[in-house]
Structure formats: structure tokens, C-alpha cells
Amino acid sequence: MIDFHSHILPGIDDGSKNTQMSLAMIEEEKKQGVHTIVATPHFYADEDSVERFLKRRAHSYERLQEEAEKNNVELPKMYLGAEVYYFSGIGQASMIPELCIQGTGILLLEMPFTQWTSDMLDNVRALVNRPNMKVVLAHIERFYDFQKRKEVWDEIMDLPIYRQMNAGPFLNWKKRRKCLKLLKQQGEVLLGSDCHNLDGRKPNLALGRAVIAEKLGQEYLNRTDALEKRLFES
């Protein structure tokens, strides 16, 4: 299992507060059968420079590695990435490749929590059209209700993009039905825990997947796993 979306690196965003918390989160991920974690701390272009962000991320990961060694914890395979919040002009922004998941052209993009506009569509399209870039839209289920007019949503979903969904909403009986419907509608998606801590937003990928397996069948998850593998290999 790959956890495609996590805030598990210590002290870098609103996720894990320190190395001890990160190690406990990692132990929980391993217990659930996660062998690969994509670390995706928030990146906000209006608050941070890419250079500073990458330095902070490297430092945070180093501290995690040191702490793991001290505590005899074997870290799972980790990819360093970012959850990049949308900004106008992102389609042409030259620093975007540096924010892709390390060693890949995969960009985890967090769209605005508003009605999406045609300007957003143009920017996402420009990103998708860049050579070697694969755009993954983070937790699509969180934006759906903001789209009172679905035209831009539909056009963005028709682009050759990848969609990511969080495990959490599948565990919430109020949100489950809607999310399953969206999942069926969107076909293959990537799954992530979007874990931030050990209580309200803890690692929960296995639990979410169990709900999906029960409702849509294990075959659906096999396709998800194959898609995730393909994405990293291509």
C-alpha cells in the first residue's frame, strides 16, 4: 500500500508536531500495511519561497531519519513531495518542477475551496500540458460541494489528470455514500490518508480501503494499486 498524501514530516506544517509524533504515525502506517509513504507538506506560494521550503523539508526529513535510527525504527520507503496550493499563474510558474515528488514529474495540487473558475481551468490545463508533468488533484471530494456550477469541474476532470481521494471520508457515515458515488463516477483514483497527527486526522488508509473493498470489491483497490505503481514507474 502506498499512502499518497501525508503530513507526516515533523515540524514543517500543520501536520506532525515533532519527530516522536512522526515515528508513532509511521509505526501506525506500517501496522496497517503501508510500505511507501509520500510526504506532502503544504506549500503556499504567497507565504514561502521554494528554496526555503525545500531546505525546511530536507532538514525535517534528516531529523526524522536521525530519530528513527536512535529508536531502531525502520522507515518505510519515503518520497519527498509537496501539497502545492493553487495560485493564479501556477500554470506558467517556473518553480513547479522543483515541487514535484522527488525524482518524478508528479505534482500534488490542492485546488481552492471555492467555485472553480475558467482561469483555474486554464492554469490546470497549462500544468497538464507541460512535458513530463503528471498532475494529481488532491482530495477531490473536498471541492465537490463548492462547485454549484459544474462546468469547470467537468472540464478539469476531463483533462488527463490523476485524482486523489482521502481515506477519512469513507469512514464517516455522513460522507461515505457521496464519496463512493464520486469514486465510481471518477473511475480510478489514488488514495491517501492525508494524516496530520495521531487523533483527529490519524493514519487511516487501511480502514478506508476496507470500506471501499466492501462496497466496490477488492478488484477496485487492485486497480488503484496498479495505477499508483504505474505512476511512479513511468
Judged by CB under 5 A, the stretch of 69-77, 80-88, 100-108, 120-128 that binds Fe ion is: 80-88
User: Least distance in Å: CB of 126 to Fe ion?
Assistant: 23
Q: Taking CB under 5 A as the criterion, which residues in 3-42 touch Fe ion?
A: none
Q: Which is nearer to Fe ion, 3 or 194 (CB)?
A: 194
Judged by CB under 5 A, the stretch of 20-28, 62-70, 82-90, 207-215 that binds Fe ion is: 82-90
Residue-by-residue DSSP string for 64-125: HHHHHHHTTPPP-EEEE--EEEP-TTTTT-TTHHHHSSTTS-EEEEEPPSS---HHHHHHHH
Our finding on whether 194 is near Fe ion (CB under 5 A) is yes
What residue type is 172 in one-letter code? N
The residues, any chain, with a CB within 8 Å of residue 65's CB and separated by 6 or more, are: 75
Strand 106-110 vs strand 83-85: parallel, antiparallel, or unpaired?
parallel
Strand 77-80 vs strand 83-85: parallel, antiparallel, or unpaired?
unpaired
Judged by CB under 5 A, the stretch of 52-60, 68-76, 186-194, 225-233 that binds Fe ion is: 186-194
Kind and range of the H or E run holding 62: helix 50-70
Closest residue to Fe ion using C-beta atoms: 194
User: Least distance in Å: CB of 171 to Fe ion?
Assistant: 16
CA–CA separation, 182 vs 33, rounded Å? 25
Q: Which is nearer to Fe ion, 194 or 224 (CB)?
A: 194
Our finding on whether 228 is near Fe ion (CB under 5 A) is no
CA–CA separation, 48 vs 218, rounded Å? 41
Q: Taking CB under 5 A as the criterion, which residues in 142-171 touch Fe ion?
A: none
Burial bucket for residue 42 (CB in 10 Å: 0-12, 13-18, 19+) = middle
Q: Which is nearer to Fe ion, 83 or 141 (CB)?
A: 83
Q: Which is nearer to Fe ion, 197 or 213 (CB)?
A: 197
Our finding on whether 83 is near Fe ion (CB under 5 A) is yes
Judged by CB under 5 A, the stretch of 49-57, 118-126, 194-202, 214-222 that binds Fe ion is: 194-202
User: Least distance in Å: CB of 192 to Fe ion?
Assistant: 8
CA–CA separation, 194 vs 201, rounded Å? 7
User: Least distance in Å: CB of 72 to Fe ion?
Assistant: 29
User: Least distance in Å: CB of 40 to Fe ion?
Assistant: 6
Residues in binding contact with Fe ion, number by CB under 5 A: 2
CA angle 45, 12, 208 (to 5 degrees): 95
Which residues of this protein are in contact with Fe ion, per CB under 5 A? 83, 194
